[in-house]
Amino acid sequence: MFRGTLIRSGNNAKTVKGDGEFETAIMYLAPFTLAGTNVCPMAEQAGCVAGCLNTAGRGAYNNVQLARIAKTKRYLSDRIAFMQELALDLQRFVAYCQRKGVKPAVRLNGTSDIQWEVAHPVTRALAQGYWKFANVFEAFPEVQFYDYTKVYKRVYRALPSNYSLVLSYSEANPAYADKVIAAALDTGANVAVVYRNKATRDALVSPSLEGRGGVIQNSLHGTGESLSREVFNGDDTDLRFLDPTGVIVGLYAKGRAKRDTSGFVVG
């Protein structure tokens, strides 16, 4: 288990399923407007505010919520200092993984949706001295970064090779659903869908992706084009960068999301 000031590993029940070749550290900030400024710009359109996993697991504790708010306020008040704090954490996590003999993986948006690939320069201490990079992905090429995002414009960008993004679907807003479907069709990006329960998700998971032959497809609909793809079980591990390409990543509702009626949870 790695414990940094901003990122931690070993405290998420889903990410530890993938521990072995990789170990994942996650940064949890205060989502939406809990820290005063919105760090999840598409949350209202996607209807994911009520079903947010911010209060799942350790997030149910008040001290954890206060810590997330404090971290987010540091980010909002002094981004440069925050990025340097993050760089120190990442450097320590890389060293920790080297000692342990595993590959480092990092999710920066555990409970936020910040566009880390733009306007987030960082300086890293190297043997040759201090070097400034455009973002943490360039600064730490040895780390595999990945995130879910509802900011669909991000997948149109030429993202760093060590940063993997999965679109997050919702039927709460037909216009939003249309944009996500269009982005998936245009770019080939995978799309994460939260189904009502495990049985619904399991009934849709494609046997061909489970090594049993055959194909099952599920269609996502907005008001325009639809998206028909095989469904991949996204709950076995959280290592989204290892998923097959061109699939729906099927998840099932957990915590408060079980009661969601906005359209964020499907089925």
Cα 43 to chain centroid distance, Å, stands at 14
> Structural domain boundaries of the chain?
7-266
Residue 26 has phi, psi (to 5 degrees) of -125, 145
Query: What pLDDT is recorded for position 17?
Result: 60
Tell me which of 263 and 94 has the higher pLDDT.
94
- Rounded to 5 degrees, φ, ψ at 71 are -60, -45
Instruction: Kindly state the average pLDDT of the residues 75-90.
Output: 97
Listed residue (34, 17, 33, 16) closest to 25, CA to CA: 16
The reported pLDDT for the residue numbered 245 is 94
Q: Considering only residues 210 and 145, tell me which one the structure prediction assigns the higher pLDDT.
A: 145
pLDDT at 213 (0 to 100): 46
Q: What is the arithmetic mean of pLDDT over 46-75? A: 77
Strand bridging mode 217-221 / 226-233: antiparallel
How does pLDDT run across 155-188, given as a tens digit for each residue?
999 999 999 999 999 998 899 999 999 999 999 9
User: Which range among 77-86, 118-127, 201-210, 242-251 shows the weakest confidence by mean pLDDT?
Assistant: 201-210
Q: Is the pLDDT of residue 256 over 90?
A: no
Long-range contacts of 58-61 (CB under 8 A, 24+ apart): 58/11, 59/28, 59/111
Least confident of 46-55, 156-165, 233-242, 246-255: 46-55
Mean of the per-residue pLDDT values for the chain? 89
pLDDT in tens, 87-131: 999 999 999 999 999 999 999 999 999 999 999 999 998 877 789
4-60 per-position pLDDT tens digit: 999 999 876 655 665 689 999 999 999 998 889 999 999 888 877 766 766 566 655
pLDDT for 212 equals 45
Task: Report CA-CA distances (Å) from 97 to 92, 107, 163, 246.
Answer: 9, 15, 18, 30
Least Cα distance to 28 among 92, 84, 109 occurs for 109
Token pair 């992905």 in the structure block, residue: 137
Higher per-residue confidence, 263 vs 210: 263
